[in-house]
Amino acid sequence: MWDGDQDFLGVPYPFEVAREYAHGLGLHSVQEWWDWAARADKDPRISPRPDWTYRKKWISYQDFLGCDPPEDVVMGSDDTVPDDGP
């Protein structure tokens, strides 16, 4: 079924659309995201590396997934870093 040129060409969704989609997945960690992104049946217009694809609007995976970081970690730009981390 034809769904337009952008779908045909595999152009990623705009950041806001992809973020809303990610929120709806109910994932709670970067590892869960990576596991989901590796699935063959995922929407091909959802980038497996949203931190690269949307780098100009990127905040964090927690923001993108819509989940809170665990209480014992500090938010990083691409993942979480333990309080006693590097």
Single pTM value for the model: 0.69
Would you state the structure tokens that stand for residue 72, as one six-digit string? Answer: 């014992």
Q: Please indicate, yes or no, if residue 1 is contained in any of the structural domains.
A: no
pLDDT tens sequence across 39-81: 989 998 999 999 999 999 999 999 999 987 665 555 454 554 3
Q: Please indicate, yes or no, if residue 4 is contained in any of the structural domains.
A: no
Q: Please indicate, yes or no, if residue 5 is contained in any of the structural domains.
A: no
Q: What's the pLDDT at 11?
A: 82
Q: What is the C-alpha separation between 46 and 14, in angstroms, rounded?
A: 9
Q: Please indicate, yes or no, if residue 18 is contained in any of the structural domains.
A: yes
Domain total of the chain: 1
Distances from the Cα of 78 to the Cα of 6, 24, 26, 32, 60, angstroms: 27, 20, 19, 14, 6
Residue 37, amino acid: A
Q: What is the C-alpha separation between 30 and 19, in angstroms, rounded?
A: 14
Q: Return mean pLDDT, the chain.
A: 79
